[in-house]
Amino acid sequence: MDHICCISINHKNAPVDIRERFRIEPTDMLSILGKDSEAYTLNTCNRTEVYWTAIEKEMIYDLLERISGIDKATIYQVSEYFTGSQAVHHLFMVVSALDSLVIGEPQILGQVKDAYRKALAANTTSTILNKAIHRAFRAAKRIRTETSIGAYSVSVASEAVELATHIFGDITLSRVLVIGAGNMADIAAKRLKDRGVNTLVIMNRTHNTACELARELSGTAKPFESLEEELSLSDIVISSTGSQHPIITRDMVLTAMKLRKNRPIIIIDIAVPRDVDPAAGKCYNCYLYDIDALKSIVDRHFAHREAEAATAMSIITAEVDKYERWISSLTAQATIKDLFSLVDTYIEDQVRNMPLPEAEKAVVEQSLRSSFKRLLHRPVNFLKEHPGTTYIEYMRRIFQLDEDFSDRHKG
């Protein structure tokens, strides 16, 4: 049985300037996809991941080298390689947002689903990966409903709003500037809007994107060039761009503070790398918080988070175990064994309920066994001759050999 393998280039090992060079689509995989192999690719702002079965690892590295233009030695350094249950575990962690930069963030599930749709359209996934991805969705759903880890990401945005409230009190009259259109900035802006903020200014290097977000949030889009002017007018600034260098410097904040006569300003920098020079936080009446500061506030708030994380991990482990059990059952021999076991259970149930003496029951049981054996002879032989994953999967589904399929016919 082919195991799942995975190469992950993510925020933990690769800086943004490396990460942004990797973008691999399912169609890129077609050239190296064999008859029985499968592939699934995932691209987000914090990670690029390739999952596959039955492909040589080096072929994937070659493909990544070709796409990114980065030499293989560097790719080895900045990537993580998982195989077997480790790869499944990693996939489940990613889909459940436990491997995300902001633990529990809700966007990743949508991104994984989008990537899966692309993979289905390109026909690059089959039994093994389909099952793994569906299991991952199930694990993510369980974690979201059985733990409060999902509240954590919303909390990062909520903490930003909470901090602003501690400074300004009533924030409905505050002017809010959102720079960039990242997910967290989007959530934070929505939170502020929910709290009744009236004046929302959106700024992005791509002005059209700013206009779209401004339309969505009933705000105003401003060109990126007016950043300095907006700094002097805004009370709350949320920045989340993909810039490699600070877009707000200490001098800019000093000038803005002078123009705003030291009226307090709160700057929430959610970008990685940071959008705001940390020295700007030393300016008088400027309150600067980066993502780490916000996360530490949330961590302190969520004192029970450790317990929640432990629950989430136990869910992941349980779901990986289930998947592993399914994988190990995915051989012709195991399927035939499960099939006969099912028949035995069925016959025993039937005979037990017959109003016959024990001696006659034994005869009937023997007769039934013989009939079922003859009935199953052809499908079992077919399975032995064609021990492919697809047929095994069909056989298991037809006879409902896995718990997953049994409940579909209830009621």
Partner 1 sequence: MTISAVLILYGITSLGFIVYLFLRKEALQMPLRILFISCTAFHLLFVLTLWYQNGQLPMESPAQAVNMLVLFSSLAFIPIALRKKTAVLAAFFLPIASFALGSIAPLVQPGVDLLSGSYQYWYPLHTLSVIAGEALFVVASTTSVVYLIHERIIRKGSIHSAMSALPPLTLLDSILYTSLALGFFAISVGMILGGLWASALGLSFRSIAPKVLAGALMWLVFGLSLHQRFAIGWKGRRTAIITLIGFVVMVLLFIGINLAFPDSHGIRLI
Q: Considering the rule CB under 8 A, would residue 168 count as an interface residue with partner 1?
A: yes
Dmax (CA) of the chain: 102
Which burial class, exposed, middle or buried, applies to 355 when counting CB atoms under 10 A from its CB (0-12, 13-18, 19+)? exposed
Active site residue 211: no
CB of 168 or CB of 399, closer to partner 1: 168
- The residues in 335-374 that bind partner 1, with binding defined as CB under 8 A, are none
Q: Tokens standing for 104?
A: 């529990």
Of 65-73, 163-171, 185-193, 311-319, the segment contacting partner 1 by CB under 8 A is 163-171
CB of 3 or CB of 195, closer to partner 1: 195
CB of 64 or CB of 288, closer to partner 1: 288
Of 54-62, 132-140, 184-192, 285-293, the segment contacting partner 1 by CB under 8 A is 285-293
Of 41-49, 120-128, 156-164, 384-392, the segment contacting partner 1 by CB under 8 A is 156-164
Q: Considering the rule CB under 8 A, would residue 152 count as an interface residue with partner 1?
A: no
Bond into 273 cis (ω within 30): yes
Of 160-168, 181-189, 222-230, 241-249, the segment contacting partner 1 by CB under 8 A is 160-168
Of residues 45, 211, 283, 286, which has the active-site annotation?
45
> Which of 242, 264, 273, 387 lies at the binding interface for partner 1 (CB under 8 A)?
264
Number of residues that bind partner 1 (CB under 8 A): 24
Contact string 293-322 vs partner 1 (x = CB under 8 A): xx-xx--xx---------------------
Residues known to be catalytic? 45
Q: Which residues bind partner 1 (CB under 8 A)?
A: 159, 162-163, 165-170, 258, 261-264, 284-285, 287, 289, 293-294, 296-297, 300-301
